[in-house]
Structure 1
Amino acid sequence: MREASMSRAVQFESFGGPEALIIREVPVPQAGAGRIRVRVTAAGLNPMDWFMTSDAETAARFGLSLPCGFGTDYAGVVDQVGDGVSEFAVGDRVFGGALSRAVADYIVVDEAGAIAHGGEALHTPDGVDDRTAATLAIAGRTAAAALAVINPGPGDTVLIGGAGGGVGVFAVQLARLAGARVIGTGSASSADALRALGAEPVAYGDGLVDRVRALVPQGITAAMDLHGTDTVQAARELGVPDERITTIAAQIDGITAANGANTTRAAVEEIAELVAAGQLRVPIAKSFPVEQIRAAVELQAERHVAGKVTIDL
């Protein structure tokens, strides 16, 4: 059977919001030496996807130029391998990240690359479906990085701000697996979802410190702010030392920000194995066909969705 020469890719012809996204017909890429081609079956959305493509100046900071693809997390099946590739074979299920080009029928990534440089691929464990695998690279890396900063364990009580978001669902469960008690901030409507993850819910907003004190009279010992700065301020007021507080979306003097780029492949592989073993679950809030990419990004960008948003290709 003759291989198709054209395929679909979600791209920007001008930077902007979801309204600027289009589906284009593009040549099917070819895997050169040391690279593999993946037939993408699912892509996972993250806040960074629409943040870094929101305008030309921000895009330039991430090395992006027009025409530009969209999305970073992906999962699929290897369908072509280049010369010298030894770790992957045609038919292998894989997942990983390819900076701002994952929402496409085909992507080419380096056998041993990094998300921002050539793209990365990891083997998808048996028992992990593609939609779930497509949520792991960015959020899993970021959550692992946040845990590495505060190093929770038995005896710790961790306050996690934005606990129901894309990174939060990983951070809550990883902290619980480490033996910590978790207090998670969220809206009233997210309380049941937070409990299902293993967190004790507390409403965010004015009065957070008083609500946490009422819930945990003995105090908290560590904190992650996965949304902004409010949780950092509350943690400091509750007596948590700066070295046991971390952020992912804000830079604050004295606080070590978590950087998923510093997370090892082994840490991401471990998260995938936890999912395969049923010890960590990833709530999928909603899945959209690629033809509805704009609606999917609009939902994810609201930042009130409980769990992950994925795209089917």
Structure 2
Amino acid sequence: MKAISYRAYGGPDVLEYGDVRDPKVGPDSVLVKVRAAALNPVDHKCREGYLDAVLDAVFPVIPAWDVAGVVVQPGAAAPEFAVGDEVIGYVREDFLSRGTLAEYVAAPVRTLARKPRNLTFEEAAGLPLAGLTAYQVITKALSVTDGDVVLVHAAAGGVGTFAVQLARHAGARVIGTASERNHAYLRDLGAEPVVYGDGLGERVRALAPEGVDAAFDTIGGDTLKLSADLLAPGGRLASIADGSVIALGGQYCFVRPDAADLTRLTELVEQDVLTAHVQETFPLERAADAFRVLEEGRTRGKIVVRVDWAEEGGQ
């Protein structure tokens, strides 16, 4: 099968497009014909070797964990899905090797859920990792509820977009940090935008003089420390970017594959609670260019790689 892979850590230039061996389908997995795969910042961090201390790399590595596609072969112990089922997945294992930037991926059923009927494959591919991250932080780590004031950093990004919508659905008031070009986008999502940079703390305090009830840090460093300072008494803090959040009394969150959570996200999309925004799509053979756009750090929503199948008219 055709895939994108890399044989050593490095920048986008280490990515190769070509033939790799077909995946084997284990008992608890299904073979998914990939229609689209979304990129996330963690994907280029893995490629650059930043997660080498916790994830073994079995080269060549096929990158990416997000997928939307169609089941073509269930495993022997995988009755949850049948041939022809349209699925989405956050297909992360405990090592790097069998990613989703390929024509096919063997996906453990614990990583999959039914694809939302009202999304295209490209839109649906952007839901799993970013949506699960936002869902697990907003609903579990921060326990956002009606009446809370919630601060979301990088609110126009992949995770931030879903975090804003989930917090608003819970009845919270949301303050979102973003560059000025994304402020109208955030207002459409229901957030109150504030611009990054010097004076951010004062701008947030002007909107929430008594502090925020919950803060979702996606950046780390000084932004994390500022978030802690902006909390109201008893406020909750979570970060997906900086483990020092624990020393500040908050929670460090690394998203986990969870079929039940992913199914809940599908339901919320079909109820029009969540929308998915795709900034740009690239064909599989241009995945390196997709990574270059992602790594500029200015993404609104998601960057998606599609797999064009000739027998399906390239749809």
By the TM > 0.5 criterion, same fold? yes
Structure 1 residues 62 and 30 mapped into 2: Cα distance closer, same or farther (>3 Å)? closer
In 2: Cα distance, 1:306 partner to 1:277 partner: 23
Write out per-residue CA displacement over residues 7-64 of structure 1, whole angstroms, 9 at most, x where no aligned residue. 1111002211111111121233342433211100000100111101203x73352122
Contact 2:238 2:252 in 1 (8 A): yes
RMSD: 1.8
In 1: Cα distance, 2:70 partner to 2:280 partner: 22
Say which of 79, 82, 92 aligns to 2:75.
Answer: 82
Equivalent position of 1:258 in the other structure: 253
The yes-or-no answer on 1:155 pairing with 2:147 is: yes
Contact 1:44 1:71 in 2 (8 A): yes
Paired AA for residue 265 in structure 1: A
Contact 1:248 1:258 in 2 (8 A): yes
The yes-or-no answer on 1:292 pairing with 2:283 is: no
Contact 2:224 2:242 in 1 (8 A): no
Aligned residue for 2:88, secondary structure, equals: strand
Equivalent position of 1:125 in the other structure: 116
Contact 1:53 1:59 in 2 (8 A): no
Contact 1:160 1:231 in 2 (8 A): no
Equivalent position of 1:135 in the other structure: 126
Equivalent position of 1:22 in the other structure: 16
Structure 1 residues 82 and 264 mapped into 2: Cα distance closer, same or farther (>3 Å)? closer
Equivalent position of 1:103 in the other structure: 101
For residue 86 of structure 1, report the CA deviation from its aligned partner.
1.2
In 2: Cα distance, 1:236 partner to 1:209 partner: 11
**Residues 266-277 of structure 1: pairs in structure 2 closer than 5 A:** 266-277=260-271
Contact 2:212 2:235 in 1 (8 A): no
Unaligned 5+ segments in structure 1 are 1-6, 114-119
- Structure 1 stretch 298-307 or stretch 225-234: which is displaced more? 225-234
Equivalent position of 1:179 in the other structure: 171
**TM-score, normalization: structure 1?**
0.89
Aligned residue for 1:246, secondary structure, equals: strand
Equivalent position of 1:3 in the other structure: none
Contact 2:165 2:189 in 1 (8 A): yes
Equivalent position of 1:38 in the other structure: 32
The total of aligned residue pairs comes to: 298
In 2: Cα distance, 1:287 partner to 1:198 partner: 26
In 2: Cα distance, 1:230 partner to 1:191 partner: 22
The yes-or-no answer on 1:308 pairing with 2:302 is: yes
Equivalent position of 2:59 in the other structure: 66
For residue 266 of structure 1, report the CA deviation from its aligned partner.
1.7
In 2: Cα distance, 1:274 partner to 1:80 partner: 28
Identity across the alignment (%): 38
In 2: Cα distance, 1:199 partner to 1:186 partner: 11
Aligned residue for 2:2, secondary structure, equals: strand
Contact 2:152 2:160 in 1 (8 A): yes
**TM-score, normalization: structure 2?**
0.89
Write out per-residue CA displacement over residues 53-80 of structure 1, whole angstroms, 9 at most, x where no aligned residue. 203x733521222111111100100111
Paired AA for residue 134 in structure 2: A
In 2: Cα distance, 1:68 partner to 1:242 partner: 44
In 1: Cα distance, 2:149 partner to 2:115 partner: 33
